[in-house]
Structure 1
Amino acid sequence: MQRMIVLSGSHDVAIVKVPHVYTQVHISGRHNTLISAGSLGISDLRGAIGEEVDPLSQSDVPSLSRFLVDSLISKDRCRAGYLFDCDKNIQIVAADVRLERLWKIIRRFRSQARSEGMVCGSLDLSYIGVAAMWAEDIATDERRYAQGSPVAVAEAITGLITSKSIPQFEGARTGFPEHRQLCLALCGWKFTIETLEEECQELIERGQYYLAIVQAVLHGYKHIALNLLRSLIRSKTIPNIGLGALLASTEINEEQHEMCLWMEADAEDPALKALLTYLTTGDWRTVMKTTYLDSDYRIALGLKYLNDTELSGFLQGETARAVRNGDLEGILLTGLTEPAMDLLQTYINKTGDVQTAVLASAYANPRYIDDMRWDVWKGTYFEQMQTWRAFHERARFTVQHNALAVDRDGRSYKQSPVTTIDIVRGVPIRAAMESLDFLLLEKAVPHAYNADDIYRAALFVVSG
């Protein structure tokens, strides 16, 4: 038997004993919410609830404590403006590397989609991930197509390469050079020396010295890497460990090979370990098999150096692993599409972080996909904001998401909010609260009224 905290629709809380099974998540807003084995999910407990247990045993306290701490973190992020501004989100979650990487990926997707930057003819490829782009696995949903002559995915990819002035592909022999170049762009690949040098300088300013050198080397510009290394050594920013001689060599001898091996074993910086691994073998494929570099670097290496068959297998395997593990970096592969919803569901099951999942997937729901899980997540998050009394934050969510949920012609995928306060008995509380959210943010309510009083009065009328 295991103990569970049960939060019922009537807001009653109970500690119950149920058979010890792996918690499965069932998508239904009408079922109860529970926490079991450190995970948050939605499950139907009918017929499974056993005797109530009170109080909590000491073994239950750590899981509950972690949940409460995570809830406080989510509340603080909400108050700080955690919403749809990717740059601001990156600052807010700076202490969490996983979330920081997620928002950098979404920022790149959003930047490329801005001003119809991922539209070719009648086809919109916005927020499509690397795996789907490579496999041309684009849903035939009408949301991605506008009126006009139909455009094949391959044709759209070629058109985008031309419109973005992306140069010809250089790397492994391939039958799909345009696909690789567009996928490299999704990974943040730098196609000019100027943008590469800017990126390297930004990495140095953030203290990622060896990653800046790796960036130059994997782009094929060893002379930039040597210049960066020389400057960092002269300024005593990093020690001189003989890396310059290794970089300058076209082929390392046996003694240098041995030196690379023990230096790699002793190195603590992951980027330095990746660079030494490459210098030891002369093959970036070896680096791809490690976790020294972030996924966007490893995926970019696959796009550059694997043949077509190997690349397809690599992307399929990495996507399946990311979805299975709820790895947020996998969003680069899945994009904000249906597989991303599966990935985020696993992430929620593991962490209980509904907040990040609903914000990240909001860019594509319902603009490009229509997944009922997003509505469930949003409802859960809105209820969290209700308990935090984050009324204005919730209103900003509603209004800003409405701006995202429009098609290329500006038509909304969502129902228009009401323009007057007209709450009657029997109206669902959530619908009434969303209407109030919009009115409060748009200042349709006189300033003499306090927002908290309006919400309390509305709740009384609706549920009284």
Structure 2
Amino acid sequence: MKVLWSPTKSDFFLTYSNSSVYLYQTSQGAVELNDGTYATRLAENSEVPFIKCVAWSPAKLEDNLVAVGTANGRVILSNFGQKADNDLDGREFVPKHQKQCVYLFWNPLDHNLLAEGLDKHSKDCCVAIWDINAKTGGDTASLERQRYSSSTSDINAVTRPYVEIGHGETTTSFSWFHKEPKAFVTGMSGRLKVYDIRDASKPHLFAQTKAVYGVCADPLSDSRIASFSESHIALWDTRSFEKPLLTLQETKPVITIDWCPTRRGYLAVLCKDSSTIKLFDIRHSVIGSEELDPVITERTVQPKKLSSISYFSWHPTFENRLLTVSPDGELRDVQVYERMPLTFASNFHFSWACGKKVIDLYFEDEEIDISIKMKNRALGGYGLCTEDPMQNALAVKNEPHLYGLWSWLTIAKDIIAQEEFQSKTKGTPSTWEKFIGVKNLLWPDNTCIGGQRSEMETVTWSYPDGSRGNTSQENSPIYKYTSPLRSRALQLCGWDYKREARDSLLGLLASLQTEGDFERAAAIALFNLKIGKAVDILCQANLPNGNAVAMALAGFTNEKNALWRKTCANLRHSLEDPYLRAMFTFLSSDKENFDEVLTEEPCMAVKDRVAFACIYLDDQKLWEYLKNLSQELKEKGNLDGILLTGASQEGVELLQSYVDITSDIQTAALAAIYCMPSEITKDTRISTWIESYRILLDSWRLWHQRSKFDIMRHILDSNIRVPTQAFISCNFCGKSVACNMTLASKVRPYMMSGGQSTQTKQRLTCCPGCKKSLPRCSICLMNLGTPSGSALYLQKEPSDFEEKLSSYGNWFTWCQTCRHGGHAAHIRNWFQNHSDCPVSGCSCKCMTLDSVGQLSAQSE
């Protein structure tokens, strides 16, 4: 069984076998083509016996006109029962001798011409081209026509072909050229021959080959022809027809081949007993070149597993659509999906190509892509607040994963400022390493062996009634570990960074209550054994189950009360807040093992868990816990881990992991420059983040934000210098005017005629080198000349960048085309109302040449 799409109607197709032809329509019905497409059988023609081939007319006036070739060589036209405006329905075309029809092909442009291939006969042609509008056998004006008519009794038959070719030869395949409707190529007697029906006496081109089967011309490129023989597929070019330009080898015998009518250079190949159709894309191959190997892209399409295909047909209009049929008559409608090239522009346009279609989408939801978030952050000034880095965290308060990074940077900056102030007042150098992490602070050599030794203290509870426990009589005393380095670690965690205060813990608890974070305040109070303060905090807060938790804490004693522990355990599982659960876990846990507090409550802030570990874990357990926690946070790309790693190589690895997971180079670049100057800034990954973020800001046209980013980077690291990128040279001597302006502004001695010297300034409206006057402003006609720019050559401190030698309005500015210009303020005012050059007689449209000005005008 074979299948054909209608060349005129996109939703019609037919199938045919030896005895019947069936007409179908897609979109609805009972025959399933695929998971979402069905077809309905509309008509059946079983009156023609011994069907060998079928061809569907491309003429739109006869939508369902089909030519059927039979075993005796007759060709019968059928309209499938539909009424037609002509008498073509039922017309027959009868050859001189009875022989089997091999193929049928309608001319793609001259729709009245139908080509038929016939078996070999010594006294007859093998290729007959019929004119379906020719007179039938009833016309006896010609004796020759009478001779033909005598072989049939059907008066509605045409017996004389329009063109006859190949007398006594064998034909195997045929194809019309789509752009040259009078020409065709056929496989005949071991040769490929190209004919023109206007002069069919001999072939215009021919090539000796065994690949004479399935010949087909590419409908989108007439010069490209394909044919096959056994398991070989040959590709030909009519411009060089002596030999095939390319040969493809298959492992099985080839049944049929066909070019895609909607894709240039796309060839489909079906092999015997195969369940797949191979697709060869030869568009990018250099065919015929002996120096380069041809690049052939091969794909396979499998309509249904373990089901062989007997025939297929390309849809004539729908791109990349195939209809296949199996030997048992099962139909499958197949869509060949492209390997789609994707691109994501910096302006949030996501585009991809699918064949001839290019689809473009614009993402407005910031949850879709990180680049949208980064742009919105940049517009909000994210990361540019150097005085109080915590303000940057407030700008992204809806992204809690960034809070830990800015919290650590804020605390580290405050500690650095305190250390520098104390070192200046005491005259001793600071021993505090800048932007260090807890892990490197406690163990600088990154190993616990030979590390710092901590002192163990026995501490007591502070109960709600104000009493304190007696450590000598308690059944289970609580041990606390202290050392100077652990105190500094608590500073980084935010628990004790105000060391000058008498009780910094009370200040921390008060600030947390002010912010409304009562659960965390109560937990920190309890972790510091101030159970009375924890009860007071919970009583003041209006929390769900707050009173119940406060009552449970008020009844706590350090004695091992099984009933109290059981009650608290039941209450803990009913609480939703991780800090409230951690409080009961801490009270009911073994006083020498606090693993449940540190591991079972991962929703607690990392800095609180680290601070808790620094108080209650001995050196060995603390080292193991911090090492495992930092590795876990680094693998997850959790920026809270920067508290442990600090500005170290391990911190760079954490940031790299964060970038790999989130693609947020913005935060990584900001974190890197806040830690400047540092040895880690020499890492190539950091320079990549910074430059990529600068390029990203420029691609968004956020030039002001990029400039502020560069300024902040230079302030934080005074060693960075940007080379001068623009120079103003003198027309006469060619020397730079801008580089000498700072020297020109210096006071120089001047000798008067009386021998007395006085101090004077050199004139700024002339070149410092040759003393020639500078050009005049085209608006005010005054000579240009001003010490514009920053005090780059006179600076001593980074803050001197803020001291401008002149305002922007006095800077030099000019058109890059006509070279006319003037003071920046004057030129800007002029082009607010004009587009042409202010110089009389100059026809330059300066404003229209400015791409930035054009974009600004379009946006407005």
TM-score normalised by structure 2 residue count: 0.38
CA distance in 1 between partners of 2:639 and 2:590 (Å): 30
CA distance in 2 between partners of 1:210 and 1:67 (Å): 30
What is the deviation of 1:455? Answer: 9.3
Matches within 5 A, 1:27-176: 69-85=369-385, 86-114=389-417, 116-117=419-420, 121=429, 125-137=433-445, 172-173=480-481
Cα distance change on mapping 1:105 and 1:274 into 2, 3 Å: same
Matches within 5 A, 1:322-361: 322-361=633-672
Cα distance change on mapping 1:116 and 1:53 into 2, 3 Å: farther
CA distance in 1 between partners of 2:402 and 2:355 (Å): 36
**Which among 159, 165, 188 is matched to residue 494 of structure 2?**
188
CA distance in 2 between partners of 1:324 and 1:188 (Å): 25
Cα distance change on mapping 1:255 and 1:117 into 2, 3 Å: farther
CA distance in 1 between partners of 2:502 and 2:556 (Å): 22
What is the deviation of 1:277? Answer: 1.4
What is the deviation of 1:334? Answer: 0.6
Aligned residue pairs total: 367
What secondary structure is seen at the aligned counterpart in 1 of 2:688?
A: helix
What is the deviation of 1:362? Answer: 1.1
CA distance in 2 between partners of 1:359 and 1:293 (Å): 26
1:102–1:331 CA contact under 8 A, matched in 2:
yes
CA distance in 1 between partners of 2:432 and 2:606 (Å): 25
CA distance in 2 between partners of 1:438 and 1:75 (Å): 33
**Which among 690, 695, 718 is matched to residue 383 of structure 1?**
695
Cα distance change on mapping 1:280 and 1:361 into 2, 3 Å: same
User: Larger Cα Rg: Structure 1 or Structure 2?
Assistant: 2
CA distance in 1 between partners of 2:503 and 2:432 (Å): 29
Give the match for residue 536 of structure 2. Answer: 227
CA distance in 1 between partners of 2:605 and 2:350 (Å): 42
CA distance in 2 between partners of 1:352 and 1:437 (Å): 36
Unaligned runs of 5+ in 1: 17-51, 139-152, 155-169, 407-411, 424-435, 459-464
**Which among 499, 519, 534 is matched to residue 210 of structure 1?**
519
CA distance in 2 between partners of 1:363 and 1:171 (Å): 38
CA distance in 1 between partners of 2:535 and 2:637 (Å): 38
1:247–1:279 CA contact under 8 A, matched in 2:
no
Give the match for residue 627 of structure 2. Answer: 316
Cα distance change on mapping 1:230 and 1:345 into 2, 3 Å: same
1:251-300 CA-partner distances (Å, limit 9, x unpaired) = 36222212222221111111111112112225444211121421111111
TM-score normalised by structure 1 residue count: 0.68
1:265 and 2:573 are equivalent in the alignment: yes
CA distance in 2 between partners of 1:349 and 1:275 (Å): 36
What secondary structure is seen at the aligned counterpart in 1 of 2:541?
A: helix
**What is the root-mean-square deviation in Å for CA atoms of aligned residues?**
4.2
Query: 1:89 is matched by which residue type in structure 2?
Result: N
Greater Cα offset, 331-340 or 278-287:
278-287
Query: 1:297 is matched by which residue type in structure 2?
Result: D
**Which among 674, 693, 712 is matched to residue 400 of structure 1?**
712
What secondary structure is seen at the aligned counterpart in 2 of 1:362?
A: helix
CA distance in 1 between partners of 2:405 and 2:849 (Å): 37
**Which among 600, 606, 609 is matched to residue 298 of structure 1?**
609
Give the match for residue 200 of structure 1. Answer: 509
CA distance in 2 between partners of 1:56 and 1:266 (Å): 55
Query: 1:182 is matched by which residue type in structure 2?
Result: R
CA distance in 1 between partners of 2:554 and 2:567 (Å): 13
Cα distance change on mapping 1:178 and 1:194 into 2, 3 Å: closer
Query: 1:125 is matched by which residue type in structure 2?
Result: E
CA distance in 1 between partners of 2:544 and 2:442 (Å): 40
CA distance in 1 between partners of 2:502 and 2:848 (Å): 58
Q: Which has more helix, going by share of residues?
A: 1
What is the deviation of 1:344? Answer: 0.8
Cα distance change on mapping 1:54 and 1:260 into 2, 3 Å: farther
